[in-house]
Amino acid sequence: MTNQPPVLADGLGKNYRRGWALRDCSTEIPGNRVVALVGPNGAGKSTLMGLITGLTRPSTGTISVFGDTPHGKGMHPAVAFLAQQKPLYAQFTVAETLQLGKHANPTWDQSYAEDLVSRAQVPMSAKVGTLSGGQRTRVALALALGKRPGLLLLDEPLADLDPIARQAVLGTLVEESRREGITVVLSSHVLAELEGVCDHLLLLVGGRVRLSGDVDHLLNGHVVLAGPPGHPEPVPRAAVIDAQRGVNGQHLLVPANAIGTTPGWRRFRPTLGHLALGYMRGASSEVAA
């Protein structure tokens, strides 16, 4: 593979009649990462995925995928995409669905795809239309991974799965991405599951990039301060990204470099959930203010 990054966006924007779905998006998704694409509903997650696949055309800015500009003629051979609806032909059997992948992808790995399906214990002879949500996702995932992509985009892959299926799908994803060196981009608004799975975060709020970068780096750069209720804030108000106050105490999310001494406050390393939720809430309270 080239040394071009999987995704490089510069000033990328998409304007629909109803308004901007994505604006001024400049970011890079580095290789060999599991990327969490996080944001509330309508943040522009699906739009960004559409722009990467070439299904959608940017209104402003540029995007390159492994150095190439996505277009409408067909998708980049190194990219696989699993749309939110997990589109599959309902009248095909599972085996026929894999055969579709074989016929439509020169880089297809049949034994790998079959292995993924059998590990998910989905019967090969079953019609796709008769599968459960979880089985359907596993088949769609096998179809996406079977083409041996360098970049796998998954739009809300966990949305309609029960907790056990979520664990199983996520486990497969992480395992395959680590073993095969695939960059996986997962969009989700369920943060708890992505904890410990993702090593890169891209947080979108209201069509703009709020936070992007290496997860460890981002977590090290932020601190959660816990203090008793009513205690004065130890940092300037402008530095507080998010504040949660209750009868049992208050929690402040602040950048690590903004704090000096904080008597009476305890410091915690934020979780990915804390961080993302804090930024999302902070952004929405800014809008409200």
Partner 1 sequence: MTWVVWRQQRAQLITLLAVLVVGAAGVLLLRSSMSSYLDTHGLASCIASGVQPGSTCGLAAQEFQAVWFDRMKIGQLLVLALPALIGLFCGAPLFARELEQGTHVLAFTQSVSRTRWMATKFAVVAAPALVVLVVLQLLVTGWLNAAGKLGPLVSGPFVYSNFGTSGLAPVSYALFTFGLGMLVGALSGRTLAAMAVTLAVFVVVRFVLTGVQQFLLPTQRVVSDDPSQPSVTDQAALVVRSGYLDARGTPVPDGAEDRIGQCGSRGNTEAATDLATCYREQGLAKSFSDIIPSSEVGTLHLVEASIFGGLAVVFVLATGWALRRQT
DSSP letters for the chain: --SS-SEEEEEEEEEETTEEEEEEEEEEE-SS-EEEEE-STTSSHHHHHHHHHTSS--SEEEEEETTB---SS---TTEEEE-TT----TTSBHHHHHHHHHHH-TT--HHHHHHHHHHTT--TTSBGGGS-HHHHHHHHHHHHHHT--SEEEEESTTTT--HHHHHHHHHHHHHHHHHHT-EEEEEES--GGGTTT-SEEEEEETTEEEEEEEHHHHHHTEEEEEE-TTPPPSS-GGG-SEEEEETTEEEEEEEGGG----TT-EEEPPPHHHHHHHHHHHHHHHHH-
Kindly state whether residue 187 participates in binding partner 1, applying the rule CB under 8 A.
Answer: no
* CB atoms inside a 10 Å sphere around CB 82: 21
Stretch that binds partner 1, among 92-100, 161-169, 248-256, 276-284 (CB under 8 A): 92-100
**The binder of partner 1 chosen from 9, 35, 56, 202 (CB under 8 A):** 56
Kindly state whether residue 20 participates in binding partner 1, applying the rule CB under 8 A.
Answer: no
The site for partner 1, by CB under 8 A, has a size of: 32
Kindly state whether residue 160 participates in binding partner 1, applying the rule CB under 8 A.
Answer: no
Taking CB under 8 A as the criterion, which residues in 30-49 touch partner 1? none
Kindly state whether residue 19 participates in binding partner 1, applying the rule CB under 8 A.
Answer: no
**The binder of partner 1 chosen from 106, 163, 230, 260 (CB under 8 A):** 106
Count of CA atoms in the C-beta half-sphere (13 A) of 223: 17
**The binder of partner 1 chosen from 7, 34, 65, 75 (CB under 8 A):** 75
**The binder of partner 1 chosen from 11, 57, 67, 269 (CB under 8 A):** 57
The Cα 228–Cα 216 span in angstroms is 28
**The binder of partner 1 chosen from 32, 92, 240, 258 (CB under 8 A):** 92
Kindly state whether residue 184 participates in binding partner 1, applying the rule CB under 8 A.
Answer: no
Of 78 and 194, CB closest to partner 1: 78
Kindly state whether residue 207 participates in binding partner 1, applying the rule CB under 8 A.
Answer: no
**The binder of partner 1 chosen from 13, 101, 134, 227 (CB under 8 A):** 101
Kindly state whether residue 137 participates in binding partner 1, applying the rule CB under 8 A.
Answer: no
Kindly state whether residue 246 participates in binding partner 1, applying the rule CB under 8 A.
Answer: no
**The binder of partner 1 chosen from 39, 44, 50, 278 (CB under 8 A):** 50
Binding residues (CB under 8 A) for partner 1: these are 50, 53-57, 71-75, 77, 79-81, 83, 85, 87-89, 91-92, 96, 99-101, 103-107, 147
